[in-house]
Amino acid sequence: MSRGLWVSVVGGGVIGLSCAWALAREGARVTVIEPDPGRGASLVGAGMLAPITEAHPTEPGLLAAGRAAVEAWPEFAAALAATGVDPGYRTTGTLVVGYSADDLVALDELASRLSTLGVDVERLTGSACRRAEPALAPGVRGGLSVPGDHSVDNRALLRALRAATDAAGVEFTPGAAPAPTPGSAVRELVGVGADLVVVAAGVWSAGLVPELGGLVRPVRGEIVRLTARRSTPVLTRTVRALVDGRAVYLVPRETGELVVGATQDEVGFDRTVTAGGVHRLLTDARRVLPAIDEYALAETSSGLRPMSPDGAPLVGHVADDTIVATGHGRNGFLFAPLTATLVAQLATGNTATTFADTFAPSRFSVAKSR
């Protein structure tokens, strides 16, 4: 990449920071514009890197990209850790468990569906699940072992990315890039004279880039953070559960934090944490892990997932001087390394890269092709 290229990255969530770091490592001069780092989904998300257990029948293209993304993680995490802050990357795998007989049928269907996609997962009895995770409730009837789904501590990751971008010379400008007016592009409105703008403003991206109109919708997720106290039983890996048909996950951290999530509601830009949402999460989680009654309640929060129509990211040029990097939906942490690499490649004019077509916003007819 030309040393003279100056890139403005709009948005300082996991996607904006990852792109900024990749661009700076390639030699670009990079400025990140961010009005309020606490507002984004990245501060809230659970940090599962879960292409297999997040695989959805209506999103067939996501599994291959997700598996490639998970493979990019060891190098990404090691490079981040080398800059001084450990991002809390864990490869301990995921256990998916079922509570009722119907939940076990649903897990069997999931295992068969995955098998047809070439992913073999091991079926476990209830007692095998408890041997793997002794803190699980006696009511857990069976499960699946998914060693390929990993996790990262989202907040440690954001700290690591901030340290890495600082070390790479990325500049930070507090403030918001204003929405475009008819006839003006977001690049001009950024007002810093950059050669290229990367819009990575999560659910707010569509308000900045008219070409994204109708392509990014907010899906609210409420989530609960608990802290293990001395002698409370802990999990050693992510447990995802079906409890009478409802999905809940429990993601443990080395720090003793346990993240319990998450609701999925289409309520526009409303980020209210509802009593009903928290009640539902805790009720289902304690049926899987009764010991959570003894955990400290540390935080309830919610964030807006930037969801695209087909669940895959929207990464690509919408104009010669504007790249978008949004639409990561439920998988922003998973895709961060892949998206950052793709953006750095596109910034150099390389459009023949892996997943460029899968992620191109122009796959939807309303988005402008380049």
Ligand X SMILES: Cc1cc2nc3c(=O)[nH]c(=O)nc-3n(C[C@H](O)[C@H](O)[C@H](O)COP(=O)(O)OP(=O)(O)OC[C@H]3O[C@@H](n4cnc5c(N)ncnc54)[C@H](O)[C@@H]3O)c2cc1C
Give the footprint of ligand X on this chain (CB under 6 A). 10-16, 33-37, 39-42, 44-48, 176-177, 200-202, 204, 208, 221, 223, 261-262, 303, 305-306, 326, 328-334
Nearest-approach distance from CB 136 to ligand X, in angstroms: 20
Nearest CB to ligand X, comparing residues 33 and 72: 33
The alpha carbon dihedral of 200, 206, 210, 213 has a sign of: positive
258 neighbors 292 (Cβ within 8 angstroms): yes
For 140, the token pair is: 């857990």
Residues shown for the chain:
370
316 neighbors 361 (Cβ within 8 angstroms): yes
C-beta neighbour count of 138 within 10 angstroms: 9
Nearest-approach distance from CB 335 to ligand X, in angstroms: 7
Nearest CB to ligand X, comparing residues 46 and 288: 46
122-125 and 29-34 as β-strands: parallel, antiparallel, unpaired? unpaired
Nearest-approach distance from CB 54 to ligand X, in angstroms: 8
For 174, the token pair is: 């507090």
Residue (of 213, 201, 223, 219) closest to 304 by Cα position = 219
Nearest CB to ligand X, comparing residues 132 and 209: 209
Nearest-approach distance from CB 319 to ligand X, in angstroms: 17
Give the integer Cα–Cα distance in Å for 303 and 243.
23
Nearest-approach distance from CB 70 to ligand X, in angstroms: 10
| Planar angle of CA 12, 13, 19, nearest 5 degrees | 75
203 neighbors 270 (Cβ within 8 angstroms): no
Nearest-approach distance from CB 222 to ligand X, in angstroms: 7
* Cα dihedral 232→235→238→240 (10° resolution): -70
Nearest CB to ligand X, comparing residues 104 and 258: 258
Nearest-approach distance from CB 67 to ligand X, in angstroms: 14
Give the integer Cα–Cα distance in Å for 261 and 223.
5
